[in-house]
């Protein structure tokens, strides 16, 4: 995880910008986790861990698709970390028109749809095709 061969400086800049938005939205401080953790950020408030987060940006509007997806490995790692620390796991996505988040509650996890897929239109290599986790976009709350 971390920077893969297709992640550009522009991608990293977008993630940093989104992290700033999330800090305001959640009134917390975000800490970038090392790539070995497999998820993006830990959030703290007054030095206390309050959440683990995965941040994504999309190049289309919120209502463009009925679901959004995340790599299954990142999803399972986010769930594992949040369960182990007894803090929320949160998926935050910045679409072209808005920022929304999904707290991975038991109810949200039950609505997850796991499929074989990924970047199927123009796969760059064999890792673009993988198990992915879809969530209905109507589960996401505005930031």
| Whether residue 118 has pLDDT greater than 80 | no
Domain definitions of the chain by residue range: 9-142
Q: Closest Cα to residue 49, out of 35, 36, 30?
A: 30
Helix or strand or coil: residue 24?
helix
Q: Which residue has the tokens 């028109």?
A: 97
pLDDT of 124: 52
User: Could you give the CA distance from residue 89 to residue 104 in angstroms, rounded to a whole number?
Assistant: 5
Tell me the mean pLDDT in the region 99-107.
97
As separate numbers, helices (DSSP H) first and strands (DSSP E) second, the chain gives 3, 9
Tell me the mean pLDDT in the region 1-26.
81
Using a cut of 0.85, tell me whether the model's pTM lies above it. Answer: yes
pLDDT of 9: 87
Band (pLDDT 50/70/90 cuts) for residue 10 is confident
Q: Closest Cα to residue 72, out of 95, 98, 51, 54?
A: 54
**CATH architecture, domain defined by 9-142:** 3-Layer(aba) Sandwich (3.40)
CA 33 to chain centre: 13
* Tokens representing residue 131 in the block: 């198990």
Q: Count CA atoms within 13 Å of residue 119 on its CB side.
A: 8
User: Could you give the CA distance from residue 132 to residue 79 in angstroms, rounded to a whole number?
Assistant: 14
pLDDT single digits (tens) 42-86:
999 999 999 999 999 999 999 999 999 999 999 999 999 999 999
């Amino acid at each position: 995880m971390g920077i893969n061969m297709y992640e550009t400086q522009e991608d990293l800049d977008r993630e940093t910008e989104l992290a700033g938005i999330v800090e305001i939205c959640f009134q917390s401080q975000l800490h970038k986790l090392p790539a070995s953790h497999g998820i993006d950020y830990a959030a703290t408030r007054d030095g206390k861990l309050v959440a683990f987060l995965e941040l994504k940006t999309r190049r289309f509007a919120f209502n463009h698709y009925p679901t959004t997806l995340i790599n299954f490995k990142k999803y399972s790692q986010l769930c594992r970390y949040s369960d182990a620390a007894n803090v929320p796991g949160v998926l935050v996505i910045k679409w072209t028109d808005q920022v929304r988040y999904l707290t991975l509650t038991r109810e949200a996890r039950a609505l997850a749809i796991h499929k074989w897929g990924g970047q199927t239109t123009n796969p760059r290599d064999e890792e673009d095709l993988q198990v992915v986790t879809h969530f209905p976009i109507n589960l996401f709350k505005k930031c």
